[in-house]
Structure 1
Amino acid sequence: MNLKKTTIFRVRQRLHETDMVSDRPRSGRPTQRQDRNLVRNHMNNRFLLASASSRHTRERNNQRISANTVRRRLSTSGLRARCPYIGPILTQSLRHQRTLWAQEHAACDRIQWRQVVFSDEPRFCIDHADGHVHLWRKSGERYQANCVREHDREAQRGHTHY
C-alpha cells in the first residue's frame, strides 16, 4: 500500500471512533457563492448584524462561519460598518422644498440670523438605540434611502418639556 504505519493507525482509530474513514469536517473559508450571498443579504438589509448573518450562514461542511469572517468578507467586497445618517428620508419634493428655502435665506445677513433661536435641549432617544447602531454600506451611499435610519418627527414635536 506504500503508506506509513502511523497513517494506517490513524485511519483504523478513526474507523473505530466514528465508523467512518473519511476526514472529519473542519472549518474553512467561505466559498465565492457564500461571499456573494453574504453581500446580497447585507445589501438588502443594511442593518443586518454580522453575528446574525454568521448564525445563518453555513460552510460547505455545515459548520458556522464566525462573525469576524463575515466582517472580513464584507470588507473585502467594499462594504464597511458605519453609523447611519439619522433623519428624514429626502424625497424629490422634500429636496426641492429645502433647496427653495435655502435660496430664499441665502441673502440673510448676521443681524437677521441673530434673531433665530438655536436651542440646545437634551436629546432623548425613544425609537432606537443611542449610538451603537451600524449598517453596512459602500463609500458614497450615506444618504441613500436604505442607508438612512428615519426618525419619527411627529413624536419629537409632541414631547413635553418639564
Structure 2
Amino acid sequence: MNVNKTTIFRLRQRLHETDTVSDRPCSGRRRCTTQRQDRNLVRNHMNHRFLSAPASSRQTRGRNDQRISANTVRRRLSTSGLRARRPYIGPTLTQRHRHQSTLWAQKHAAWDRIQLQSVVFSDESRFCIDHAHGRVRVWRRSGERYQTDCVREHDRWVEHL
C-alpha cells in the first residue's frame, strides 16, 4: 500500500472505536451555511445563470439569519463545479434558425476551403451596443459554453429612433 504502518494502525483503531475512518471534526470557524442552503444556492444559479454573487448573497441568509458574503457564495458555487465566466455572445436564434443552420452545414459539409472563402457569414462581426465589454458573467460548468441558457443573445439589427 506504500503507507506507513502507524497510519494503518490508527485507521484500524479509529474504525474499531467510531465505526468510520472519516476525519473527526476539526477546530475552526463553523460554516455559515448548511448543506441544504448550499444546494439551494447552486440550484438558484443553475436556474438563473447570469445572477451575480453579490445579488445572490443579498437574497440568501445563513445560519441564525446572518448575512453571507459574496465570497461565500463564490466558494460554494466553485465547490459544486460552477465558475463565473464571460458568456458567449451570439445572435438571437430561434429554433427554426438553428434547424436551418444545421441543414446548411450538412448540405455544404463536402465543400473545400476555396469554396467556403466565397461565403460571408453575417454573424462574424461583433458590435457592443447595449452593455460594457466583459462585465457580464455566467455561472456554468466546463463544457457548457454554447448551452442555450449560458449564451447571451442579442439582436444585431437594432433600430435607432
Residue pair 1:27, 1:63 contacting (<8 A) in 2 also: no
Deviations 1:25-44 (CA, angstroms, capped at 9, x unpaired): x9743111211221121112
Residue correspondence of structure 1 range 63-142 to structure 2 within 5 A: 63-88=66-91, 90-116=93-119, 123-142=126-145
Amino acid paired to 2:64? N
The corresponding residue for 1:19 is none
The answer to which of 62-71 and 104-113 deviates more is 104-113
What is the Cα-based RMSD across aligned positions, in Å? 2.9
In 1: Cα distance, 2:120 partner to 2:100 partner: 22
- Greater gyration radius: 1
Per-residue deviation, 1:69: 0.9
Stretches of structure 2 that go unaligned for 5 or more consecutive residues are 1-28
- Cα distance change, pair 130–47 in 1 and its aligned pair in 2 (3 A): same
Q: What is the distance in 2 between the residues matched to 1:113 and 1:133?
A: 33
Distance 2:141 2:127 in 1: 29
Provide Cα deviations, 1:36-95, integer angstroms capped at 9, x if missing partner. Answer: 221121112111110111122222222211111110101111211121111135544323
Taking the aligned partners of 2:36 and 2:120, their CA distance within structure 1 comes to 55
Over the matched positions of the two proteins, sequence identity in percent amounts to: 76
CA distance in 2 between counterparts of 1:122 and 1:150 reads: 14
Query: For residue 51 of structure 2, what is the amino acid of its counterpart?
Result: L
- Say which is worse superposed, 108-117 or 37-46, in terms of deviation: 108-117
**Aligned-residue offset at 1:131:** 1.2
Amino acid in the other structure paired with 1:79:
L
TM-score in terms of structure 1 length:
0.66
Deviates more, 1:100-109 or 1:60-69: 100-109
Divergent runs of 4+, >3 A = 88-92, 103-119, 121-124
- The structure 2 residue matched to 1:60, chosen from 60, 63, 66, is 63
Q: Counterparts of 2:114 and 2:153 in 1: how far apart (Å)?
A: 34
State the aligned residue count. Answer: 131
User: For residues 12-23 of structure 1, what are the structure 2 equivalents within 5 Å?
Assistant: none
**Equivalent-residue separation in structure 2 for 1:110 and 1:35 (angstroms):** 50
Q: Does 1:145 align with 2:151?
A: no
What secondary structure is seen at the aligned counterpart in 1 of 2:84? strand
